[in-house]
Structure 1
Amino acid sequence: MNVPSPTDFVFKTPLYELISWKDEDAQIENAEFQGTEGKELEVQNIVCFQGKVDGYCVECAKESTFQRIDKVPNTWDTSWFMATRKTLGFTLTCARNAEHKIEIIYKVLPEFEGIIKIGQFPTIASLMKGDVNRYRKILKKQFSEYTRAIGLISHGVGIGSFVYLRRIFEVLIEEAHQQAMKIEKDWNEEEYGKLRMGEKIKELKNYLPKFLVDNAKMYGILSKGIHELSEQETMEYFPAVKLGIELILDEKIKIQEQKNKEKEASELLNKIANKIDKK
C-alpha cells in the first residue's frame, strides 16, 4: 500500500496492513526528518513525527487536535530500525483534555521491509464516528450496516465491508424504485424486474442523486469486490467506494434540507397571507 501520512496512519490505516519502505521512487512533501529518500522517508515520517494531527476525539465527541507526548527519536537510525523486529508505539493527547488519548502500537518487520499496526485505542471505527454520524438520519436502518463496513475495514476485512456497502447501494436504488412506482402512472413493474442494475439506474435517473447516476459503475465494483477481488484489493479500493457512497448521501441530505426549507417557508408564508387576508 501507499505510505500514509501520520494523520492517516492514526485515523484511517487499518490493523495488520503492511506499510513497506521498499519503493525508493516515492516522494513526500513537508517531511519533518530529512536524509533519506522515497518510501523509507515516508515511513520515517510516521515513526518520528513530532507535530500535531487533527481528528475526531471520541471522549469530546467532536473534532480536536492531538499532540504526540512520548519521546521521539532525534535521528533516524536506518540500520538499527531495519535490523530489529521490535514492537513500538506512541501516544497522542487531545488539546482540549490531556486525559483523552489515542494510543498506537506497531511492529517493525525487517523481513518484509516495513511496519504494521497491531494495536490501537480507540478503534478506527470509533475515530470515524465524527465523519459518519451526519448520515444517521438519511441512512436510517442502514446506518448500522455503514458503521459495520467501517469497523470491518479497520480490522483488515475488505470483502465483508463491500457486502455492507453494496447493501446500502441497493437500498438507495430500491427507495427510488418505490418512489417511481407511486409517481409514474404508466410504470411497468414487470419490465423493471427484468433489468440489470445499470439499466435500473438509468430507468430511475429522475429519482436518484446525480452522482449515483453518473457513477453507476460503483455497483459493479462492489459486486466484483465481493465475488472476485482479494481482501487486499478490496481494502485498497474501499476508501474510493466509501467516498462515492458518502457523496451520494451528501446529495440526498442537500435535497432533503431543500425540501424542508421549502416546506417551512411555504407554511410561514401561508400563515402571513391568512393574517393579511383577515384584515
Structure 2
Amino acid sequence: MIDKEFIEEYSLFRKYKSEGISKNLQDWKKTPINMTCNVCKSLQTFNLSNDFYYEGSSQKIFANNRVLNLKYICQSCKNFNRHFYVYVNENVNEFYKVGQFPEWEIKMDKNLEKTLNKHSPTFRKGLVCESQGYGIGAFAYYRRITEEIIDELLDSISELIEEEHKSEYLIALEKAKKTRVTQEKIDIVKDLLPTILKPNGMNPLGVLHSELSEGLHASTDEACLENANHIKSILTFLINQIIQSKESAKSFTSSMKSLLEKKSAK
C-alpha cells in the first residue's frame, strides 16, 4: 500500500522508496490521509473512494509500471475531493506523484516566514521549484537562504548554549564569522550544538553540513530534490526549536520572578 506521508507531503516527481509491498493491487489496503478540506476550511480526514484495481475483476491486477488514479474524499463534508496520480516502478519499490489536484500546496511555516523576513521570497521560490520537481532549482534557493542567514542562526544558537560551554562556543563563533564559506562556518561550530537542538542525539548542523556539501555534486533533479527537502526540514526545525526554547525560557523566568516577588511581599 502507499504510505500516507507520501500522499500528504511529497511534491511532484520526488522519489518515495518502500520495500516489501505486494505487486498485487488487490492486497493493498486503503490508507486514510489528513489534509486541508477547501470546503470545511480545516484539516480533515480523507478516505480513498475508488479502488486500486478494476471493480469486479477476479484476476490479479499488478501495480508495476502503472499510473494509479487515487481519489480521496473528505469524510466530514463528503463534497471535497483530492486527486493523485502515482507512478509505480517495475519492482514496486519506488513511487512518484506525477499529478495532483488541487496542486501541491506552497505554504511556509509561520515561524520560518517571520524569522526569514526579507529572505522569505527566496524561500518561496525554492518551494515553487520543489513543487514542480525542479530539484536543482530548489536546492539552489534553499542553499542561498542558508548562506544568507547562517550568521544570524549561529548567533541565535549561542543564547541556548549551556554555561559551561558558552565561552568555547563564542570563540568558535568568532572564528566562524571570519570565513565566508557556509560549510566552513557550520563545521567550526556543529559539534558544540546544545542538547536541546539535538533530537535523539542527531545533530542537525552536522546533517546540514553534509547536505550542502553533497548537493554541490548532485547532478540530477531527483538527487537535488532530496538534498533540498532535507535542508528545508533542518532550517524549519532549528528556527522553530530556537524560538520555542527562548519563549519557554522567557516564560519560566517571568513565572519565577513573579513567584519571588510574591514571597518577598509577605
Kept in 2, the 8 Å contact 1:6–1:53? The answer is no
- Distance 1:167-1:275 versus aligned 2 partners, 3 A rule: same
**What is the aligned counterpart of 2:213 among 207, 213, 220?**
220
CA deviations over 1:180-211 (Å, ceiling 9, x no partner): 99998989979844454333224444578552
CA distance in 2, matches of 1:17, 1:257: 31
CA distance in 1, matches of 2:258, 2:145: 40
User: Within 5 A, what are the aligned runs for 1:95-174?
Assistant: 95-105=75-85, 118-126=98-106, 129=107, 132=109, 135-174=112-151
Shift of 1:151: 3.0
**What is the aligned counterpart of 1:274 among 237, 256, 261?**
261
Shift of 1:147: 4.3
Shift of 1:233: 2.7
* Uncovered stretches (5+) of structure 2, i.e. residues with no partner: 160-165
2:244 aligned with 1:257, yes or no? yes
- Distance 1:191-1:161 versus aligned 2 partners, 3 A rule: closer
The two structures, once aligned, show a CA RMSD in angstroms of 4.6
Partner of 1:23: none
Percent of matched pairs sharing the same residue? 17
TM-score of the aligned structures, taking structure 1 as reference length: 0.63
2:20 aligned with 1:28, yes or no? yes
Larger C-alpha radius of gyration, 1 or 2?
1
Kept in 1, the 8 Å contact 2:71–2:84? The answer is yes
Shift of 1:157: 0.8
Which one-letter code corresponds to 2:127 in the other structure? I
Kept in 2, the 8 Å contact 1:54–1:63? The answer is no
* Uncovered stretches (5+) of structure 1, i.e. residues with no partner: 20-25, 32-40
Kept in 1, the 8 Å contact 2:176–2:186? The answer is no
CA distance in 1, matches of 2:155, 2:144: 16
Which moved further from structure 2: 117-126 or 136-145?
136-145
CA distance in 1, matches of 2:41, 2:220: 35
Q: How many residues align?
A: 241
